[in-house]
């Protein structure tokens, strides 16, 4: 108990004396803050992209692609295949009609507002049940496109990021003019990066005949996907892969998220090494300045362990202060920051917001604590081994 009291007393004394060592302390704090800021900023991009992709998926909605396809863009389904899928078991029905949407997916060039450069934007042809299959999609401005007409509704994120997508305007893709008649939201998911129209019109405009690239179906329940998959696997007329929307979009998000983490963690480690040296310099300076103080405490009966632990605590407190500062800066500067990037799986732009999540902030604080512990360890040993008699002669 006496040892703990000594540690508390010396630690409190060290913290009270921090203003006297403000310059060296700020070096350690700012170094750690920079590490946490960069860590949270880079990984918030991965988190935001994952959240945008996964938010579009549901466990009770299945997406069916041609067997072996990694994305809608390289899939292809005939009209006969789509009809077989629609009449398979496990799908919710409204009356006698199954809730499905056979869809076509193409990529069009739209100019970015921020850079004035062309970007690939998903242009999706859907059937009337598309919004029933995706209950998170809702019209927020204008009206829904009419079947058989060259009309488009645009996702809110696409409208904010790209030029010429305002309701009431007309945009030209290839040889066809399209009227923009409405805007929809989808809880911030990847669907908001898309343009939608009647699938039959899109098939005609891009000479796709009666083909589709995917079929989305609303399942009776999450377990119905097994029944649907077994039925279609056993049917020789179709050759398809069945997966839940959530699994599909998770697989789409993984490559880019993995790439960002592959960059983010090594960069953070390199910066953390620099921050450790900053903490070492700060704490060595602190021990050097406080040599007489430490010797006096030792002469008064404070043990070397209390001096060692209190020095490590001081270093950790400084590092955590830097972690809190860096985390707060990352949240204020980057959380909700909207960007768009190319999704390699679909070769089209996805608009998403950076997400500085509580999980990232906790990881940043943990990294800060580790930097503080390492940065304070060796100076703490030096403080504990400081010769008392020699230091007292200088008093």
At 16-38, the pLDDT tens digits run: 666 666 667 787 788 888 889 98
In terms of domains, do 372 and 279 share one?
yes
pLDDT tens digits, 128-151: 999 999 988 999 999 999 999 999
Same domain, yes or no, for 88 and 41? no
Report yes or no on 61 lying in a domain. no
Comparing 322 with 196, which gets the higher pLDDT?
Answer: 196
Q: Is residue 293 part of a domain?
A: yes
pLDDT for res 395? 47
Overall number of domains in the chain = 2
Q: What H or E segment, with its residue span, contains residue 138?
A: strand 138-142
Q: Is residue 371 within 8 Å of 32, Cβ to Cβ?
A: yes
Domain extent for 43: 2-54+253-393
Which pLDDT does position 118 carry in this prediction? 83
Residue 136 and residue 175 in one domain: yes
Q: Is the model's pLDDT at 13 over the cut of 50?
A: yes
The backbone region for 171, taken as left when phi is positive above 0, alpha when psi lies in -120 to 50, beta otherwise, is beta
Same domain, 77 and 158: yes
Q: Per-residue pLDDT tens for 339-377?
A: 887 776 667 778 888 899 999 999 999 988 888 888 777
User: Residue 164 above 70 pLDDT?
Assistant: yes
Burial 116-128 (b: 16+ CB within 10 A, else e): eeebebbbbbbbe
What is the predicted pLDDT for the residue at 278?
Answer: 73
When mean pLDDT is compared across 35-44, 162-171, 276-285, the lowest value belongs to 276-285
């Amino acid at each position: 108990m006496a040892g703990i009291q000594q540690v508390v007393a010396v630690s409190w004394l060290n913290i009270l004396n921090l203003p006297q060592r403000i310059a060296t302390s700020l070096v350690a704090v700012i170094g750690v803050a920079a590490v946490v800021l960069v860590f949270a900023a880079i990984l918030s991009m991965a988190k935001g992209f994952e959240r945008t992709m996964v938010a579009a998926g549901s466990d009770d909605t299945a997406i069916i692609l041609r067997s072996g396809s990694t994305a809608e863009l390289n899939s292809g389904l005939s009209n006969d295949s789509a009809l077989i899928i629609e009449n398979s078991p496990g799908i919710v029905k409204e009356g006698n009609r199954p809730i499905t949407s056979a869809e076509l997916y193409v990529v069009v060039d739209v100019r970015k507002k921020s850079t004035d450069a062309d970007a690939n934007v998903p242009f999706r042809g859907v059937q009337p049940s598309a919004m029933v299959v995706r209950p998170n999609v809702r019209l927020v401005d204008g009206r829904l496109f009419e079947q058989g007409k060259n009309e488009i509704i645009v996702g809110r994120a696409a409208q904010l990021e790209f030029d010429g997508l305002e309701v009431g305007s007309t945009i030209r893709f290839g040889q066809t003019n399209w009227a923009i008649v409405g805007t929809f939201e989808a809880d911030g998911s990847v669907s908001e990066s898309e343009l939608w129209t009647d699938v039959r019109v899109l098939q005609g405009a891009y000479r796709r005949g009666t083909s589709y690239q995917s079929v989305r179906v609303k399942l009776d329940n999450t377990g119905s996907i097994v029944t649907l998959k077994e039925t279609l696997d056993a049917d020789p007329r179709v050759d398809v892969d069945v997966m839940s929307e959530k699994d599909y979009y998770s697989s789409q998000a993984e490559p880019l998220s993995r790439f960002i983490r592959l960059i983010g963690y090594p960069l953070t480690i390199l910066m953390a090494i620099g921050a450790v040296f900053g903490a070492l310099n700060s704490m060595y300076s602190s021990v050097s300045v406080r040599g007489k103080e430490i010797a006096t405490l030792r002469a008064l009966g404070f043990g070397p362990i209390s001096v060692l632990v209190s020095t490590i605590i001081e270093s950790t407190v400084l590092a955590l202060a830097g972690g809190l500062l860096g985390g707060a800066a990352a949240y204020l500067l980057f959380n909700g920051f909207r960007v768009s990037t190319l999704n390699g799986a679909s070769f089209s732009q996805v608009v998403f917001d950076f997400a500085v999540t509580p999980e990232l902030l906790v990881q940043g604080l943990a990294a800060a604590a580790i930097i503080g512990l390492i940065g304070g360890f060796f100076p703490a040993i030096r403080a504990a081994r400081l010769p008392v008699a020699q230091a007292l002669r200088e008093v």
